[in-house]
Amino acid sequence: MRTREIVLARRPEGLARPSDFGLETRVLPPLPPGSVRVRALYWAADPGMRARLGGVRSYVEPVAIGGVVGGAAIAEVLESCSDSFAAGDLVTGLLGWREAGDFPEAALKKAPERGGMPIGALLGLLGTPGITAYFGIGEVGRVKAGDTVLVTSAAGAVGAAAGQIARLRGAHVVGLAGSDAKAEWLTTAAGFAQAVNYRKLDDLSTALGRLFPDGIDVLFDNVGNRMVDVVLPHMKLRGRIVVCGQTEDYSLAPERRHGIRNTSHVISQRLRIEGLLAYDHAPRYGEAIAHIRDWWQAGQLVAHEDIVEGFEQLPGAFCDLFAGQSFGRKLVAASPQGGPAQ
Amino acid sequence: MRTREIVLARRPEGLARPSDFGLETRVLPPLPPGSVRVRALYWAADPGMRARLGGVRSYVEPVAIGGVVGGAAIAEVLESCSDSFAAGDLVTGLLGWREAGDFPEAALKKAPERGGMPIGALLGLLGTPGITAYFGIGEVGRVKAGDTVLVTSAAGAVGAAAGQIARLRGAHVVGLAGSDAKAEWLTTAAGFAQAVNYRKLDDLSTALGRLFPDGIDVLFDNVGNRMVDVVLPHMKLRGRIVVCGQTEDYSLAPERRHGIRNTSHVISQRLRIEGLLAYDHAPRYGEAIAHIRDWWQAGQLVAHEDIVEGFEQLPGAFCDLFAGQSFGRKLVAASPQGGPAQ
B167 and B283 housed in the same domain: yes
What pLDDT is recorded for position B341? 41
Closest in B257, B262, B266 to A254, CB measured = B262
For position A188, which CATH number holds? Answer: 3.40.50.720
Sheet containing strand A216-221, strands side by side: A194-197, A172-177, A148-151, A216-221, A235-243, A272-275, B272-275, B235-243, B216-221, B148-151, B172-177, B194-197
The stretch A148-153 carries a mean pLDDT of 97
Angstrom distance (rounded) from CA B155 to CA B325: 11
User: What confidence tier does B12 reach under pLDDT thresholds 50, 70, 90?
Assistant: very high
Helices in A123-246 by DSSP H: which ranges?
A: 128-135, 157-168, 180-188, 204-211, 225-231
Contacts of A260 in chain B (CB under 8 A): 225, 259-261, 263
What pLDDT is recorded for position B251? 83
A281 and A161 housed in the same domain: yes
Q: Rounded to whole angstroms, what are the CA distances from A93 to A27, A52, A70, A290? A: 21, 17, 10, 19
What pLDDT is recorded for position B342? 37
Residue A261 to residue B255, Cβ atoms within 8 A: yes
Angstrom distance (rounded) from CA A101 to CA A119: 20
B186-195 pLDDT, tens digit per residue, is: 999 999 999 9
What pLDDT is recorded for position A339? 45
A48 and A115 housed in the same domain: yes
B134 and B31 housed in the same domain: no
The stretch A108-121 carries a mean pLDDT of 96
Distance from CA of A260 to the nearest CA of B (A): 5
B132 and B119 housed in the same domain: no
Give one DSSP letter per residue of B241-273, joined into a string: EEE---HHHHTS-GGGS--B--THHHHHTT-EE
B148 and B66 housed in the same domain: no
Q: What is the ipTM of this complex?
A: 0.90
Residue A326 structural domain: 2-124+303-341
Contacts of B249 in chain A (CB under 8 A): 263-264
Closest CA in chain B for residue A250: B264
Give one DSSP letter per residue of A122-136, joined into a string: GGTTTSHHHHHHHHI
Task: Quote the radius of gyration of chain B (alpha carbons, Å).
Answer: 20
For position A37, which CATH number holds? Answer: 3.90.180.10
B277 and B148 housed in the same domain: yes
Q: Is the pLDDT of residue B141 over 60?
A: yes
Question: For residues A319 and A17, is the Cβ–Cβ distance under 8 A?
Answer: yes
Q: Is the pLDDT of residue A57 over 80?
A: no
A242 interface with B at CB cutoff 8 Å: no
B41 and B190 housed in the same domain: no
A116 and A29 housed in the same domain: yes
Higher pLDDT, A43 or A342: A43
Q: Rounded to whole angstroms, what are the CA distances from B227 to A201, A293, B248? A: 33, 44, 9
B193 and B223 housed in the same domain: yes
Q: Rounded to whole angstroms, what are the CA distances from A172 to A75, A176, A303? A: 38, 14, 19
Q: For all residues of chain A together, what is the average pLDDT?
A: 94
A35 interface with B at CB cutoff 8 Å: no
Q: Is the pLDDT of residue A155 over 70?
A: yes
A128 interface with B at CB cutoff 8 Å: no
How many structural domains is chain B composed of?
Answer: 2
B133 and B119 housed in the same domain: no
A123-140 pLDDT, tens digit per residue, is: 999 999 999 999 999 999
User: What confidence tier does A327 reach under pLDDT thresholds 50, 70, 90?
Assistant: confident
Q: Is the pLDDT of residue B250 over 70?
A: yes
Closest CA to B92 of B42, B52, B33, B158: B42
User: What confidence tier does B89 reach under pLDDT thresholds 50, 70, 90?
Assistant: very high
Angstrom distance (rounded) from CA A76 to CA A92: 9
B148-158 pLDDT, tens digit per residue, is: 999 999 999 99
B88 and B178 housed in the same domain: no
Distance from CA of A56 to the nearest CA of B (A): 10
What pLDDT is recorded for position B52? 86
Q: Is the pLDDT of residue B339 over 50?
A: no
Q: What is the reported pTM?
A: 0.92
The strand pair at A90-93 and A73-80 is best described as antiparallel
